[in-house]
Structure 1
Amino acid sequence: MTTIRFTNANVIDTRKGQVLADYEVRIKDGRIVDVSAEPLNGQDDQVVDLKGRYLMPGLVDSHVHVTAITPNFALLETLSPFYVGAKSNELLESMLMRGFTTVRDAGGADYGLAKAIEEDSLIGPRILYCGNALSQTGGHADMRGPGQQTFEGCFCCAGLGRVCDGVSEVRRAARDEIRKGATQIKIMASGGVSSPTDRIDSTQFSLEEIDAIVEEATAANIHTMAHAYTARAINRLIPRGVKTIEHGNLMDEESCRLFLEYDAYLTPTLATYDALAKEGVEAGMAPHLQQKVYDVLDAGGKALEMAYRHGVKMLYGSDLLGRMQRHQLNEFNLRKDVVTADDLLRAATCNAADAYGYTGDFGEVIPGARADLLVLSENPLDDIMVMTQPERYLLAIMKSGSFYKKEL
């Protein structure tokens, strides 16, 4: 494989939040092998002169649904998985072209999509997937209406979750997703916006069920992510070993204390509420669910401010559905008045690697890391809005040492 050497690069150190001026970076076999302020020797290297442009690690979106081709999850469960997979192709390629080289799917993607991306049969970011999220009966992944007794679709097809009840069932479900290669397990641990029968303020799964799920994930050396809105839900999850809390709009001061004590991470997803408030019904979301969106929209901004003030470690997550996924970069805009540019970049790079247990594997421009790299014409540490305009500022996208965009 050709060795690529970037010269005259202003490397963004995402962990320290600073620029390393006039560096050279060598790429071989899909990995970074050298990062140096001194000239690197290599007669056979393919040299790419960046001429002072900015080199940074590829972005990580820690909460996506790459198979959510519609916000109507009940409809999604009835669709052909072949159709959903084909439509996901467009969503995945668009994510990569925005600069996301890794995404963590929070329900829906499986080993097939991840393998197709790995083989370049589909173009898109690397997918870390949970398979089907685990939900109790009447929980956030149970898409039956109150008068519906049976499932219209099947949970092995195009849905985002699977229903399981009781310690033995949740343990079997977790083991089954792990068998299918899950890189994390997703727990639906509170009510949600898009589910038809649960309440936002409900807690879901018993403590014994949660313990069983976390135990199985820990045994497989993978982490757990939990959908949770309220402090009541969050504060029972973190001490039980759940690593990341998704959403967290209605958290409290005690939640912040627990995040710090147990080294857990928060994934706010402001972009999804902003988009749903503006486009939800038009995009196919049931009108009666729209009120849930307004109930949590304002709370999300307040929770973000409280968490940041307390020093809670955060991840970048968009959680957008269907055609609303075009707003994926809007999360930077929605957080920028509260969170500094360096911390926003950490949330979208090295924090994700740390949370998943992949420190040093991606999210940094360091020797040994994957060669997932972006070249920008301007410095996002000076203006984070640079990240929201890839058509203007994003000149090159590299994943695993291969260029997917190169306009240098």
Structure 2
Amino acid sequence: MDDTITVLRGGTVCDVETAEARRADIALEDGSIREIGRQLRAPEGATEIDASGTFVIPGLIDAHVHVTAGTADLAAQAEYSPYYVAAQTQGILHGMLSRGFTSVRDVGGADHGIAAAVGEGLWAGPRVFFGGKALSPSSGHADLRSAGRQVLDNHVCCPNIGTVADGVDAVRRACREQLRTGADHLKLMLSGGVASPTDRVDSLQFSADEIEAAVEEAANANRYVTGHAYTARAVNRGLELGLRSIEHGNLIDASSVELFLEHDAFLVPTLVTYEYLHSEGAEAGLPPASQAKVGDVLEAGLHALDLASRGGVKIALGTDLLGAMHRHQSQEFRIRAQVQSAPDILRSATLVGAELVEQTGTLGILAEGAAADLVLLRADPLEDAHVLATPEQHVRMVVQRGRVVHEG
């Protein structure tokens, strides 16, 4: 990154915290926001960009992605060449960046190499906060063997979203292996799921001792644990045992909301994936056994979001899309608009996401000293969340680390 100054002139700067907007210039230098104000002086040699007529927001954060999932048939992908998966991943990351997502949290699949490829500029894509391979017990959500398959391949180079560990000692070792590679968090499968072939959505996974071991290992490394869970029973158990965030949570109840507040924990709903798994899952490679489970969580997700939102839970934005369905990422904004206000939805994808990935004050905000990750929109997302749902129409420019990385 050079130290050339770029000045965005005359845009409407959206304060996502207060939901207020004002006309201002933004000066960017060395990957950070140098100054925000009216009629800023540009030093000699500065690059100036006319931002008039646009609404400027912080770069968006998707807190639940699988950037290596080039197919919805995750069991089949485990047999793919890692090079082929990497080629798919490059395209997936580029698409996310073009939609205004300048940061993502990968909760199963991405590793230190992918994060480095983006960080070093080898690939165009959002910053990747990765957890490595998600941890699952045998027969759990990341155990993608069919009922008749006995062989289990936990090799680090196997392009699988997860790894299987049974027993406290094995869980500790698996946690330490992910942390050894620089993982930003650990992911546990606490209940069954849609994409796995042999578990029920309403099952509980891992023993309490195994979960507590993972929480301890994460805390020792100054990291945190997030958990895949659908039912209130699984969600509540995870929160009581020390997890910092819950993924999905479609079947939570009022008792879950109380526990989220008590433990200052995050919820990351992923509603868009169920809509498109229902309509396009088969075409994208979702096996028939998984297609049959989509209905178990499809209708309940919006109610859970409404319950959590009204209860004051910290809600981040996630999508969890697989294969060809990644292109629908921005539709999460449209779905959430049925129960949440436009400012609340934007906060989920900026301020709350930044807090979840432990980047408060750096990401998800337009302020002096924050990262120069910005999106210029042709309409006001604080008034209408559907603006964010149609990036092909409304995203004029994406800036990441102070550089223009996409123009639409």
**TM-score bracket relative to the smaller structure:** over 0.9
User: Which residues of 2 match residues 149-298 of structure 1 at below 5 A?
Assistant: 149-151=150-152, 154-298=155-299
How many angstroms does 1:22 deviate by? Answer: 1.8
How many angstroms does 1:357 deviate by? Answer: 1.7
**TM-score, length of structure 1 as denominator length:** 0.97
Letter in 2 for 1:214: V
8 Å contact kept, 2:62–2:349: yes
Structure 2 residue runs without a partner (length 5+): none
Q: CA deviation digits over 1:236-258, x for unaligned, max 9?
A: 11132211100001111000001
Pairing partner for 2:12 from 1, 10, 32? 10
Q: Give secondary structure in 2 for the equivalent of 1:281.
A: helix
Equivalents in 1 of 2:406, 2:146: separation in Å?
45
How many angstroms does 1:41 deviate by? Answer: 5.6
Find the counterpart in structure 2 of residue 85 from structure 1: 86
Find the counterpart in structure 2 of residue 386 from structure 1: 387
CA RMSD of aligned residues (A): 1.4
User: Which residues of 2 match residues 1-150 of structure 1 at below 5 A?
Assistant: 1-19=3-21, 21-37=22-38, 39-40=40-41, 42-150=43-151
Equivalents in 1 of 2:407, 2:272: separation in Å?
28
Q: Give secondary structure in 2 for the equivalent of 1:90.
A: helix
8 Å contact kept, 2:154–2:163: no
Q: Which moved more, 1:40-49 or 1:104-113?
A: 40-49
User: Which residues of 2 match residues 261-340 of structure 1 at below 5 A?
Assistant: 261-340=262-341
Aligned length: 406
Query: Could you say if the C-alpha distance between residues 51 and 282 of structure 1 is closer, same or farther in structure 2, counting changes exceeding 3 Å?
Result: closer
**TM-score, length of structure 2 as denominator length:** 0.97
Equivalents in 2 of 1:153, 1:304: separation in Å?
35
Q: Give secondary structure in 1 for the equivalent of 2:294.
A: helix
Q: CA deviation digits over 1:33-86, x for unaligned, max 9?
A: 212246346344322231242111111111111110111111011111011001
Q: CA deviation digits over 1:89-115, x for unaligned, max 9?
A: 111111100110001111111111111
Structure 1 residue runs without a partner (length 5+): none
Equivalents in 1 of 2:362, 2:265: separation in Å?
20
Q: CA deviation digits over 1:221-266, x for unaligned, max 9?
A: 2222110001111111113221110000111100000111111111
Q: Which moved more, 1:358-367 or 1:381-390?
A: 381-390
Q: Give secondary structure in 2 for the equivalent of 1:292.
A: coil
Equivalents in 1 of 2:5, 2:303: separation in Å?
47
Letter in 2 for 1:129: F
Q: What is the percentage of aligned positions where both structures have the same residue?
A: 46
8 Å contact kept, 2:154–2:164: no
Equivalents in 2 of 1:355, 1:162: separation in Å?
23
Q: Give secondary structure in 2 for the equivalent of 1:91.
A: helix
Equivalents in 2 of 1:152, 1:358: separation in Å?
35
8 Å contact kept, 1:31–1:370: yes
Q: CA deviation digits over 1:125-171, x for unaligned, max 9?
A: 11111110011111100011222111367453200000011111111
8 Å contact kept, 1:6–1:49: yes
8 Å contact kept, 1:265–1:315: yes
Letter in 2 for 1:175: R
How many angstroms does 1:402 deviate by? Answer: 1.0
Q: Which moved more, 1:281-290 or 1:325-334?
A: 281-290
How many angstroms does 1:406 deviate by? Answer: 3.5
Q: Give secondary structure in 1 for the equivalent of 2:282.
A: coil
Q: Give secondary structure in 1 for the equivalent of 2:163.
A: strand
8 Å contact kept, 2:7–2:42: no
Q: CA deviation digits over 1:330-365, x for unaligned, max 9?
A: 101111010100000001011011122210110000
8 Å contact kept, 1:24–1:40: no
8 Å contact kept, 1:78–1:154: no
Find the counterpart in structure 1 of residue 361 from structure 2: 360
Letter in 2 for 1:286: P
